[in-house]
Amino acid sequence: MRSLALLASDSSHLPLLTVFKESGVTRKYGFEIDLEIVGGSRAPTMKHRTKLIYAGEIDFVSGLHHETYRERAKGHKRLVYLAQTQNRWDDRLVGPVELKSVDELRGKRIVCHSTAPCVTGNLKAILRQLGFKEEEIRVEAIESMSGNLTRYADDVVAGNAAAALVDMPFDLYAEKKGLKIIPLPERPVIHNTTILTTTDYIRENRETVILFLKAIIDAIHFFKTEPDAVADILQKNLSKRYTLDDRAYFVHLQREWAKLLLAKPYPLPAAIQNVFELDAAHDPNMGNISPMEPWDLHYLREIDDSGFIDQLYAS
């Protein structure tokens, strides 16, 4: 059986992509997934993503939320988004139980796990929305902690930070350590598993693109409807990376991601506008580039119009 190479931009994409790879769903569509993550041997850094997909060394990328616009500004129009599996931000802000509201974090150190605009940028935008002045926002991304993802919550427990922005399931870890989740306004985002390839690849592999999209839609259905099997897959494959063994973390991860994942993975217009404004819109080199330019949803629409998705959930 053939293998398709899929590169994940960050470990935060792994809940869905691990299930995509390990559930067996893809075999119904005639392929298996060779899943790699940025930081590995093939793609040591984020900058390797565009090089690899331009060179045809990988088939699909999960991520590349901002670089696509920069590439178009340079005249390179080959990168294209095909689907968006979630439209709501899933990072959680955690802090001490005595913290009454996010307003008490003005001027205080908040640690987070990524410098990416879709992480720090969204948090800063929310704080501004809540009335924080620029000098009152102290968001510090500490990516060197990537090998110890529990450390962000531990820093708050130790008093080294006032709050931490964490991925799931580290929100549950934080609660188990005596912290609480600090409510934030909902925010539409282009985040995590955004499916991207090139126009060259689509032209030469149209049938593969359709099968890949069907398979990831099917994997989302599996994620939503097979909670025990999904928790098993997540625990088996992610416990070492997360340094978390308790099954409760993976039950939590399945339950919360199942709420976020879209049965029909279309992006929200507000989410596209958000990701554009976080980064590209502030670059004078962007010229007249539209937020919608890199998106080509007609393959997803073709699948949807065929009744494929409705039939999945009807059964």
Angle between helices 247-260 and 206-225 (to 10 degrees): 120
Each as own residue / partner, the long-range contacts of residues 68-72 (CB below 8 Å, 24 or more positions apart, any chain) are 68/196, 68/294, 69/276, 69/279, 69/280, 69/283, 69/286, 69/289, 69/293, 69/294, 70/280, 70/283, 70/285, 72/289, 72/293, 72/294
Which pair of structure tokens corresponds to residue 190?
Answer: 């282009």
User: What's the confidence (pLDDT) of residue 297?
Assistant: 97
Both tokens of 253, joined, read 């991860």
Answer yes or no: are the C-beta atoms of 47 and 74 closer than 8 Å. no
265, amino acid identity: P
Q: Identify the pLDDT of residue 114.
A: 78
Computed on alpha carbons and rounded to an integer, the radius of gyration of the chain in Å comes to 19
* SS3 assignment, position 113: coil
What is the structure's pLDDT at 180? 97
> pLDDT per position in the chain (315 positions), as tens?
899 999 998 888 999 999 999 999 999 999 999 999 988 888 888 888 989 999 999 999 998 877 888 888 888 899 999 999 999 988 999 999 999 999 999 999 999 987 777 788 899 999 999 999 999 999 998 765 455 789 999 999 999 999 999 999 999 999 999 999 999 999 998 888 999 999 999 999 999 999 999 999 999 999 999 999 999 999 999 999 999 999 999 999 999 999 999 999 999 999 999 888 876 667 777 767 888 999 999 999 999 999 999 999 997
* Per-residue tokens: 140: 């510090």
| CB neighbour class for 248 (10 Å; exposed up to 12, middle 13-18, buried from 19) | middle
What is the pLDDT at residue 145?
A: 42
Residue 149's pLDDT is 82
| Closest to 199 measured CA to CA, from 190, 189, 209, 191 | 209
Q: Which two tokens stand for residue 93?
A: 């802000």
Helix (H) or strand (E) holding 141: strand 138-141
What is d(CA 189, CA 68) in angstroms, rounded to the nearest whole number? Answer: 16
| CATH numbers and ranges of domains, the chain | 2-87+190-314 (3.40.190.10), 92-181 (3.40.190.10)
Neighbouring C-beta atoms of residue 34, cutoff 10 Å: 15
Please answer whether residues 215 and 28 qualify as being in contact, where contact means their C-beta atoms are separated by less than 8 angstroms.
yes
pTM value is 0.94
**Sequence-separated (6 or more) residues with CB below 8 Å from residue 265:** 83, 84, 85, 195, 216, 217, 220, 300
| Calpha distance 214→278 (Å, rounded) | 30
Residues in the chain: 315
